Chain A
């Protein structure tokens, strides 16, 4: 994930349009500001503001934000006269999709914002001062994802109080992961692997938490997959779920015709390959440009 340097390099070389790969969100704006002589602290701060534009305004709306940047300050106001920036609306953006509103790590340093002062200079324009840039050894964030398998989903509901009342127990058979051993070995050898995982979601469902099951609107998407798209295990993984849901026995079962109601036929929907994140590291490097080659074209 690149920092500001590749953008700055391209701007300094005269680029008018830049098509960039994955970078930190504020990097393109920070690079433009620094291209025009702005120091790192206000440049990185304004980058974070501009990346979401009028998320820093009120009412929050998809619209443009205009920033004036000095050596040690930023002033922002919305382009749309119906919107306003206030110290509160601007500080809200500091919370957006990050781990901390007062410390932000970027390639080559840390932006400290705990001593920032936000002051209204009009009823719709805010001045921000006090941000501090602390240079650190240059790092590049590395991300990676891998093919996790192939996915199919099934939607089904049940109104059977015997099943709903036993939901904790029944979800455990839904959640069990199959062929654990073959999946692990397949990861090393490249052999086909197959597993089923089911996500039980309720209207108040929590991430990774159990469900109590007191509501007939339970939804049970199940996913099955295999490493090899042509392998029968892939289809088997997907197909096994509807059959299991429909016909697995449970104590007190009165309706043996089927445990669940499927709203669609076929009941399973193929989603194709699915991927998962596998790495998030930072790598030290002396060359901010080395991993990000630039090519120039005249159009």
Chain B
């Protein structure tokens, strides 16, 4: 009880969002690197679009050579400003670059993304991303003060996302949004169903309750990962490595839980599978009764409270 209360007082996890349904969802925050990647992709796309129109205008002869640079800059400007807002509005918080990098804008408070938020965060992008970028391109040593100011601005724009937990840039802060990795749902088979309790393995290896009191959820899930990895196709050298690991783990588990019967090498996987089932059933049962065991140190950490 005491432990639980202390936990609730801690700050919520950075990668967590509270939707209106009240069940917190884990959404991993996208780092600065992947966002810069998406930004570069977007710049290339808009620049390509501007370039195409630019060449069209030149081909039509609608301009004279003196104005070309200004018109090119103008086109880039006119294309990129609506591009970000409209694409994020249509694709629910994703520009083409973000789709490419599988990241997405979400509302900070768990509600839906509003038009206002999308407009604001992308208008600020103009001051935050493009202004420093043009400043870098136009730096010259004839105007040292302006160059220094430009560099300070660039440093600030890059530092702000690194200084907060949500990797928000200034526009994100104003709009109340942040950027996450899009989660990919993949449903793997249930290990416990593949070899249910009544099967052959469970009859051959049985565990007593005190033998199951040594490990917690973390160890169980590590074992789950190992069992799943073993099931996949692998090269011969991986196979022998895996076999050695499994043998070592079987030995460790046997010694820890005091399982006296020897386990012959062909039965190693079956033993671990049976142990996984028994351990999971045991831990889940304990959890139902309010005894949540995070890892094998659950006994000592309880005494600390």
State yes or no: do A and B come from one complex. Answer: no
Residues of A within 8 A of B (CB): none
Which residues of B does A touch, CB under 8 Å?
none
